[in-house]
């Protein structure tokens, strides 16, 4: 028992020095179990490759340059879509959150459009724009837009009116109130919207690539299915998970730490 505690203590100290250990360690038993199941050949090997097979395929596809190209295609599509989604969504959310007329005019339309899920647009988009970048970008922007708009509205409305009054009585005009009070006050919600939007957007992108793509991780997986290469399908799935983890912990979490959490607006 004491030994267990000592090992646990050593592990905690190790993760304090190398935080990445804390990220990787939980996957050790998962990969171990996977390797064991593959080794025992509980399923036929063509349907259930081992971790080592997937690793070899990773090296192979990286070496040939296919994987880096596809990865870049997917990430750039997501980044462009997310940037447009934010550029449209945040101002729209602020407008709807602050202006009663805009709220009345746009809110029902937003809810209506939100209900037509992202890939439900694909049939008509393919007819309009064909199998290509425009169609995929549209789907991602559409998917990112709604969580950003809805959460921005929520954030704008959660800013205490007394803060806007305080700013006004210190000499702030309309735009200064938006820039200095409404936007920072709504920021924790905007980030939540962005986090949801990127998550949905990432999934929508993979779906769009599977259906209309000619490159990208989604295309890689669907193409592998056509060729009967289960290894590459596994590889694609693992890359999806890792990539999302990187976006979340390297981009979104640091923004949250330096804004809402630092200001005491969000409890840690």
Question: Residues interacting with other proteins, by CB under 8 A?
Answer: 160, 162-163, 165-173, 176, 180-181, 184-185, 187, 259, 262-265
What is the nearest approach in angstroms of other proteins to the Cβ of residue 254?
16
What is the nearest approach in angstroms of other proteins to the Cβ of residue 196?
22
Between 49 and 188, name the residue whose CB sits nearer to other proteins.
188
Between 184 and 199, name the residue whose CB sits nearer to other proteins.
184
CA–CA distance, 252 with 220 (Å, rounded to integer) = 27
Q: E strand or H helix at 107, and its extent?
A: helix 100-115
Task: Evaluate whether 184 touches 261 at the Cβ level (below 8 Å).
Answer: no
CA–CA distance, 248 with 246 (Å, rounded to integer) = 5
What is the nearest approach in angstroms of other proteins to the Cβ of residue 181?
7
Between 56 and 157, name the residue whose CB sits nearer to other proteins.
157
What is the nearest approach in angstroms of other proteins to the Cβ of residue 168?
4
Closest CA to 94 of 44, 149, 54: 149
CA–CA distance, 14 with 182 (Å, rounded to integer) = 42
What is the nearest approach in angstroms of other proteins to the Cβ of residue 177?
10
Calculate the alpha carbon distances from 84 to 65, 81, 221, 232 in Å: 29, 5, 27, 31
Between 3 and 162, name the residue whose CB sits nearer to other proteins.
162
Between 9 and 173, name the residue whose CB sits nearer to other proteins.
173
């Amino acid at each position: 028992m004491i030994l267990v505690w000592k090992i646990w203590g050593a592990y905690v100290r190790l993760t304090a020095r190398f935080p990445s250990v804390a990220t990787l360690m939980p996957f050790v038993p998962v990969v171990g179990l996977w390797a064991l199941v593959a080794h025992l050949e509980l399923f036929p090997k063509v349907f259930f490759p081992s971790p080592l097979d997937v690793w070899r395929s990773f090296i192979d596809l990286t070496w040939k340059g296919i994987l880096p190209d596809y990865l870049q295609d997917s990430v750039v599509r997501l980044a462009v879509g997310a940037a447009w989604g934010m550029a449209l969504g945040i101002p729209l959310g602020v407008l709807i959150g602050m202006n009663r007329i805009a709220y009345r005019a746009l809110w029902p339309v937003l809810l209506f459009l939100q209900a037509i899920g992202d890939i439900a647009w694909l049939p008509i988009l393919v007819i309009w724009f064909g199998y290509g970048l425009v169609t995929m970008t549209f789907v991602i922007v559409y998917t990112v837009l709604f969580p950003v708009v809805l959460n921005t509205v929520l954030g704008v409305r959660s800013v205490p009116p007394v803060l806007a009054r305080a700013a006004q009585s210190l000499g702030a005009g309309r735009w200064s109130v938006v820039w200095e009070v409404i936007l920072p006050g709504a920021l924790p919600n905007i980030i939540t919207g962005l986090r949801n939007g990127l998550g949905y957007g990432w999934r929508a992108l993979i779906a769009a690539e599977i259906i209309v793509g000619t490159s990208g991780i989604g295309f890689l997986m669907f193409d592998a299915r056509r060729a009967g290469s289960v290894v590459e399908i596994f590889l694609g799935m693992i890359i999806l998970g890792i990539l999302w983890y990187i976006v979340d912990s390297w981009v979104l979490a640091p923004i949250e730490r330096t804004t809402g959490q630092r200001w005491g607006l969000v409890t840690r």
